[in-house]
Amino acid sequence: MNAQAASIPIEQGAQPVRSRRRAVLALITLGIVVIAAAAVVYYLLVARYYESTDDAYVNGNVVQVTPQVTGTVIAVNADNTQTIKQGQPLVTLDPADARIALQQSEAALGQTVRQVHTLYVDTLQYRALLAQRKADLARAQDDYRRRLEIAKSGAVSTEEITHARDALSNAQAAYDAANQQLAANQALTWNVSIANHPDVLAAAAKVRDAYLAYARNTLPAPVTGYVAQRVVQVGQRVAPGTPLMAVVPLNEIWVDANFKEVQLQHMRIGQPVSLHADVYGSSVTYHGHVVGFSAGTGSAFALLPPQNATGNWIKIVQRLPVRIALDPQELQAHPLRIGLSVLAEVDLHNERGAALDNAPNTVYQTPVFADYGAQANGEIARIIAQNAGDDALPAAVAARAVHNAQHVAVAR
């Protein structure tokens, strides 16, 4: 009886403990269910429309400055970390040899222009000579005709008629010779001006080549940016293609974000991207958009791509580089440098864009080297104008000579 009576209070005291335990477990289970439901709802409504990666880095163009001719460096006008403008001279090579070659080609062009101009003057002379021979031929024909008419009356001897016939033959031969000389000289100048004559064009091409070689002794900045990787030194002998320094235009940079292949299913060109650079932290947000996808994964373009056709194959999730364009105004307010780490988050709500095609093409160009050709053409035009003389005056003189010769022939 005593043992049975003692056990009753113990069992009665254990009931509240079990109840509280069940209540706590129920609350924990309910909390887990609520958290899981909230996570599912958050994923369905928000999280599944965003893909992010911290494997993203700032990238940009690194424009190499290399010489186009061989020479010795006599001046270096910029150094690392310095800002330069497009067209600003960066490196100067010794131009002495190129200057001599340019002067020789310019002298040859001037001499060629004068020689070609002589051909045009000879044409004018041959035309005047032809007019004179034509007048002589007309006079010989008239003399021979008159003697034939007088010979009917017996006033002219046969010998005199023979001399007149010989004079007519000589005048005809002289006229034919003058005509052939004119045709031969016209063949050298037919339907072409002095500036477009083949001999002048050949000499002008040599001047252009020498001028370009001379101008290329000064290496301008291809773009506006910051100098980096300067290795050139004064006195160094450089050859075409030798890297001297690099120019980095920090206003033309982008972000290469390496997303996992399982994150690319809904990613499209044109989707907005939010970015945070480690250099500024979360206080600065950059707004960009997807502009293109790489044609292959990073491992596919590696120097030593992995060989998966082996017995020790292990599957590794691949990453694909995605290019993200940045807002130029935000870059101006908070500049970035090449190689900085970035956290990128892509908004996937809009899937109307393309995955691969229709990516916009970007064109990079510089006009600094085009000026060399324009300057060379201006120098060539100056030399031709200086040595060609006045083409209108010889033409007027020739026309007057032809007219005078014809007038003399009529008068006779």
Span 63-92, pLDDT tens digits: 999 999 999 999 999 999 999 999 999 999
Q: What is the mean pLDDT of residues 170-175?
A: 80
- Whether 58 has a pLDDT exceeding 80, the answer reads yes
Residues in the chain: 412
- Whether 253 has a pLDDT exceeding 50, the answer reads yes
- What are the start-end ranges of the E strands in 158-285? 218-220, 225-228, 237-238, 245-248, 253-260, 272-277
Q: What is the mean pLDDT of residues 266-279?
A: 92
Do 227 and 63 form a contact (C-beta atoms < 8 A)?
no
Q: Residue 54: which H helix or E strand, with range?
A: strand 50-60
Predicted local confidence at residue 14, as pLDDT = 65
- Whether 310 has a pLDDT exceeding 90, the answer reads no
Could you tell me the pLDDT band of residue 25, with boundaries at 50, 70 and 90?
Answer: confident
The single residue listed with the structure tokens 């008239």 is: 142
At residue 61, the 3 state secondary structure works out as: coil
- Whether 350 has a pLDDT exceeding 90, the answer reads no
Lowest mean pLDDT among 6-15, 62-71, 295-304, 342-351: 6-15
At residue 195, the 3 state secondary structure works out as: coil
Cα–Cα dist 186/87, whole Å: 47
Most confident of 87-96, 183-192, 304-313, 383-392: 87-96
Higher pLDDT, 150 or 343: 343
Could you tell me the pLDDT band of residue 405, with boundaries at 50, 70 and 90?
Answer: very low
Lowest mean pLDDT among 5-9, 24-28, 143-147, 189-193: 5-9
Average confidence score pLDDT of the chain: 82
**Among residues 321, 330, 258, which one has the least CA distance to residue 288?**
330
Do 348 and 266 form a contact (C-beta atoms < 8 A)?
yes
Could you tell me the pLDDT band of residue 357, with boundaries at 50, 70 and 90?
Answer: low
Residue 305, number of CB atoms within 10 A of its CB: 12
- Whether 393 has a pLDDT exceeding 60, the answer reads no
Could you tell me the pLDDT band of residue 239, with boundaries at 50, 70 and 90?
Answer: very high
Please give the CATH topology (third level) of the domain spanning 64-93+217-247.
Answer: OB fold (Dihydrolipoamide Acetyltransferase, E2P) (2.40.50)
Report the percent of the chain where pLDDT is more than 90. Answer: 41
At residue 402, the 3 state secondary structure works out as: helix
Pairing assessment for the beta strands 71-76 and 218-220 based on DSSP bridges: unpaired
Report the percent of the chain where pLDDT is more than 70. Answer: 86
At residue 2, the 3 state secondary structure works out as: helix
pTM flag (> 0.85): no
Predicted local confidence at residue 185, as pLDDT = 64
**Among residues 38, 56, 81, which one has the least CA distance to residue 323?**
56
Predicted local confidence at residue 163, as pLDDT = 74
Strand arrangement, sheet containing 237-238: 218-220, 89-93, 71-76, 237-238
Predicted local confidence at residue 129, as pLDDT = 74
Predicted local confidence at residue 358, as pLDDT = 63
**Among residues 252, 339, 344, which one has the least CA distance to residue 289?**
344
Residue 398, number of CB atoms within 10 A of its CB: 19
Predicted local confidence at residue 152, as pLDDT = 66
Q: What is the mean pLDDT of residues 157-161?
A: 71
Predicted local confidence at residue 287, as pLDDT = 94
pLDDT tens readout for residues 197-210: 888 999 999 999 99
Predicted local confidence at residue 395, as pLDDT = 44
Higher pLDDT, 338 or 302: 338
Q: What residue ranges do the domains of the chain occupy? A: 64-93+217-247, 97-215+391-411
Q: Which residues of 79-104 are buried (b: 16+ CB within 10 A; e: fewer)?
A: eeeeebeeeeebbbbebebbeebbee
Could you tell me the pLDDT band of residue 407, with boundaries at 50, 70 and 90?
Answer: very low
Predicted local confidence at residue 402, as pLDDT = 39
Cα–Cα dist 259/298, whole Å: 10
Higher pLDDT, 109 or 128: 109
In angstroms, the Cα distances linking 372 to 61, 67, 311 are 24, 14, 60
- What are the start-end ranges of the E strands in 146-299? 218-220, 225-228, 237-238, 245-248, 253-260, 272-277, 286-293
Predicted local confidence at residue 12, as pLDDT = 57
Predicted local confidence at residue 174, as pLDDT = 80
